[in-house]
Amino acid sequence: MLDLDVTVKPLFGHQDGAELGYNPHKPGRPSHAYHTLMIRHLRLVLDVEVHPGKEHAAGHGRSNLWRLWEGLPAKCRPALLCGDAAYGQEALLADCEARGQKYLFRQRQTQGVKQLIRALEAKGGWRSTIHRWEALEGTLRLSGWSRNRRIVVLRRTKVAEGRRPTALAGPEQKHPPELISEAQAPSHEHQILVTNLTLEALSLADLYRQRADSENAYDELKNQWGWDGFMSKDLLRCQVAARNVALVYNWWKLFVSCADPVRGREAITSRPLFLSAVGRMTQSGRQLRLTLTSTHGEAARARDLLTNLSLFLSGLKNTAEPLGPEGCWERIWARILQPYLRPRAWIPARSG
C-alpha cells in the first residue's frame, strides 16, 4: 500500500523555489513542498520530489507518481493508493481507473457531499465500525466527475468542548444526564471516503485509519534525519539532498528491522542503542583489536541483537555462492517482513 502526502519545509534565506504557499506552522514564511510516496507499515520512502512552496497542491506530484508507477513491473506495483482529501480529485481518480489501480482517498465535504450525507442520515441503517465510527455507503457523481463513484460516509458522535472531561475532572464535576437538554445533544463529525475497492465499510475504515502511521515517519524524517536541516540556493541540490536523506533513512530502517524484526524503532531510540559506544584500539604484536563498550541502559539487549544479526549475515555469506544474490535478498526480506507474514485477523475481534 502506497501512501501519498505532501509535507512543508519552511525556508530561511534566499533560495530557489522559496515561495509563499501553504505553511501552517509558520504562516508568511517561504517554503518548499515535499511530495512523498511512502510504503505503509514499513515506513520506507519510495520517492520524494521537491517543489516550490506554491506547488503544494496534490496535483503537482501526480506526474512523478505515474512516472514511478509505470517504471515498476506489474507485480511490484502497489495494491492500493491512499491519500487525504487533497487527493480525492477527478484527475487522479480518472488516472487510477484508467490504469486499473485501486485507490482509497478522503473526500472534501463539498455541497454535493453534504447532500449525500443528509440523504443517508434520513435513510438510517448505520453500521458500527472501529473507534466509535459508524458507516453507511452510497454512490455519488459530483459536478466535476466523469462517472458515479462509491462513497463511504463515516460518522461518530462529536463531544462538545464544554462537556469534554479534563484530566483533573472528577466524577462530581461531570454533568448529570438529566441536566443535559435535547438541544445540547451532541452532533456528529463525518469522514467521507471515495474508493473503487469492493471491501466492506468496516475494512475500509480500518485501511484509512492505518494511514496515520505515515505521519510518524514524516516527523522522524524532518526532526531526526535532516529534511529540515539543510539549505541550498539551488532547487536541484535540494532535490538531491532530500532523496539522499530518504535513502539513508531507508537503509537504516532496513538494518534496524533486520536486527530486531519484532519491535519497530525510530531513530531517536535506535541510533543511541546501536551506534553510541566508546571505542578503544589496542595492539599486541602485529594484531590490532578494537573494543567497543556501550554505555546504553539496554547494552546487553543491543549486543544480543547485533550478535544474532552477525550470525545471520555470516551464514548468508557462507552460502552465497549456491544461493546467489537474489536468494540472499529473499532471506533478508523474509527476516525483515517476519512480523507482517504471520497469519492474523484483518481487524481484531471484540472479546466477550
Cell numbers standing for residue 218: 514524516
Q: Is residue 152 part of a domain?
A: yes
Q: Cβ distance 16 to 235 under 8 Å?
A: yes
* Residue 96 or residue 133, greater confidence: 96
Question: 67 and 13, same structural domain?
Answer: yes
Question: 215 and 199, same structural domain?
Answer: no
Question: 192 and 51, same structural domain?
Answer: no
Question: 197 and 134, same structural domain?
Answer: yes
Question: 306 and 246, same structural domain?
Answer: no
Distance CA 109, CA 159 (A): 20
Which residue range forms the structural domain that includes residue 112? 102-162+185-203
Supply the DSSP string of 259-318, one letter for each residue. Answer: H-SSS---HHHHHHHHH--EEEEEEETTEEEEEEE--STTHHHHHHHHHHHHHHHHHHHH
Question: 254 and 280, same structural domain?
Answer: no
Question: 111 and 35, same structural domain?
Answer: no
The continuous run of DSSP H or E covering 34 comes out as: strand 31-39
Distance CA 301, CA 78 (A): 36
What angle do helix axes 267-275 and 235-259 make, rounded to 10 degrees?
70
Question: 195 and 107, same structural domain?
Answer: yes
Question: 220 and 198, same structural domain?
Answer: no
Distance CA 245, CA 9 (A): 14
Name which of 4-8, 24-28, 272-276, 297-301 the model is least confident about. 24-28
pLDDT at 326: 83
Question: 123 and 75, same structural domain?
Answer: no
223 φ/ψ angles, rounded to the nearest 5 degrees: -100, -25
Give residue-wise pLDDT tens across range 163-178.
554 444 444 444 444 4
Q: Is residue 168 part of a domain?
A: no
Q: Is residue 90 part of a domain?
A: no
Q: What is the mean pLDDT of residues 104-125?
A: 85
Q: Is residue 178 part of a domain?
A: no
Q: Cβ distance 127 to 202 under 8 Å?
A: yes
pLDDT at 185: 43
Q: What is the mean pLDDT of residues 182-198?
A: 74
Question: 64 and 18, same structural domain?
Answer: yes
Q: Is residue 46 part of a domain?
A: yes
What angle do helix axes 299-318 and 267-275 make, rounded to 10 degrees?
80
Q: Is residue 314 part of a domain?
A: yes
Q: How many domains does the chain have?
A: 3
What pTM value is reported for the model?
A: 0.81
232 φ/ψ angles, rounded to the nearest 5 degrees: -155, 140
Give residue-wise pLDDT tens across range 285-339.
888 988 888 888 888 888 898 899 999 888 887 776 777 888 888 889 988 888 8
Question: 281 and 247, same structural domain?
Answer: no
Q: Is residue 180 part of a domain?
A: no
Give residue-wise pLDDT tens across range 43-78.
899 999 999 888 888 888 899 999 999 999 988 899
Distance CA 214, CA 298 (A): 27
Q: Is residue 307 part of a domain?
A: yes
pLDDT at 119: 86
Specify the length of the chain in residues: 352
pLDDT at 49: 92
Distance CA 328, CA 164 (A): 55
